[in-house]
Amino acid sequence: MKLKIFAVFLLFHNVAFSQNISIIKFETLQQRITSNPDTVYVVNFFASWCAPCIKEIPEFLKYADENKNKKVRVIFVSLDFKKNMSESLLPMVQNLNINQTVYLLDEPDANEWIDKIDNTWSGVIPATLILHKASDNRRFTTESLSYSLLKKFAN
Amino acid sequence: MDGSYVSLSDYPDAKGFIIIFTCNHCPFAKLYPARLNELNLKYKKMGIPLLAISSTDTIAYEEDTYIKMVEKSNNESFNFPYLYDSQQLVAKNFNAQKTPHAYVIWKEKGIWKIKYKGAIDDNGAEPEKVENNYISRALDQLLNEKEVEIKETKSIGCQIHFRK
């Protein structure tokens, strides 16, 4: 009996864990955010320790929800340390009810990839990249975005 | 930290400085105190002292008040001055945008020039896996009268929120 309870617990644990967050390398991220040229990708770089990031996430969720029938994808890219994933990032994702894709970017040396996102970026977060390959549209900002600003920025 | 004001001219013999914009609250900055002590220990005696500066808006981050800076400096046994940029003017002059944000400045014909800016090294979370010590490398090149090879790097950090 004890064993059974344990097994059930493990199962749930895995479901919760794999629900949203996958650990990826930069190259994979780049592929994912360019995979469909018709789609508008809204890519938000954040971390669970970044207060201004947490503040703006609900605005992105609202935007995602509003555009769920359009070719719009909101992707959250966490810059948390990998070792803090289960203690900091996961609870935050659950508390904010992030129902969109969350990646944890596993690249310790940001100098290797920051310029590939935008060469004006110093590395501060939050940062947001909006990509639409079909119209060759690419925008980047480190401003904190409200829902209305985001809407303006993405359209 | 003893409450005194510090100016570059207080160090007439300095060849250069390591200037680190840092703060108490930022998890990335929290990874570096031991490494900053090591840098200062090594380079101060070669005429390149390290100055750490907090330019954080203390209204936004209570953890970064002067009193808390003194506490941190004592708790972590900083062997370098930890300076409070209360008007955020130093950060603006350097165009420092985040913590940690490192600079190497060097005196050339009596004028201070920025020779390197960016990350301290290439691995914040795991010091044992660092492959590029950007600051040390820049300093060693300067000490050997060579051109700094890597003049700028990027790294993740907490934004220095400038009061309007």
Q: What is the pLDDT of residues B22-31, one digit of tens each?
A: 999 999 999 9
Mean of the pLDDT values across residues B127-140?
A: 96
| Residue type at B134 in one-letter notation | Y
Identify the structural domains of chain B with CATH numbers, from first to last: 13-159 (3.40.30.10)
Calculate how close chain B gets to A35, using CA atoms only, in Å.
Answer: 26
Provide the pLDDT confidence category of residue A154 given band limits of 50, 70 and 90. Answer: confident
| Nearest residue to A58 via CA among A73, A40, A76 | A76
Contact A108 B126 (CB under 8 A): yes
Q: Rounded to whole angstroms, how far apart are CA atoms A34 and A56?
A: 24
Q: Is B128 on the interface with A (CB under 8 A)?
A: no
Q: Is the dihedral of CA A28, A34, A36, A42 positive or negative?
A: positive
Radius of gyration of chain B (CA): 15
The CA-atom distances, in angstroms, between A91 and each of A5, A20, A103, B99 are 23, 12, 14, 25
Q: Is A79 on the interface with B (CB under 8 A)?
A: yes
Interface of A with B in 80-139 (CB under 8 A): 81-83, 108-111, 114-115, 121-125
Per-residue confidence (pLDDT) for residue A9, from 0 to 100: 52
Type and span of the H or E element at A14: helix A2-18
Q: Would you say B125 and B35 are in contact if contact means Cβ atoms under 8 Å apart?
A: no
Mean of the pLDDT values across residues B10-34?
A: 95
Mean of the pLDDT values across residues B88-115?
A: 95
Domain A20-154 class, CATH top level: alpha beta
Per-residue confidence (pLDDT) for residue B144, from 0 to 100: 97
Calculate how close chain B gets to A73, using CA atoms only, in Å.
Answer: 24
Query: What is the end-to-end Cα distance of chain A in Å, rounded?
Result: 56
Q: Is A50 on the interface with B (CB under 8 A)?
A: yes
Locate A68 and state its tokens: 């769920």
Counting every residue written for chain B, the total comes to 164
Per-residue confidence (pLDDT) for residue A18, from 0 to 100: 44
Q: Is B97 on the interface with A (CB under 8 A)?
A: yes
Provide the pLDDT confidence category of residue A92 given band limits of 50, 70 and 90. Answer: very high
Mean of the pLDDT values across residues B35-52?
A: 98
Mean of the pLDDT values across residues B42-53?
A: 97
Contact A122 B119 (CB under 8 A): no
pLDDT exceeds 80 at position A141: yes
Q: Write the DSSP string, B14-65.
A: -SEEEEEEE-SS-TTGGG-HHHHHHHHHHHGGGT--EEEEE---TTT-GGGS
Q: Rounded to whole angstroms, how far apart are CA atoms A145 and A150?
A: 6
ipTM: 0.83
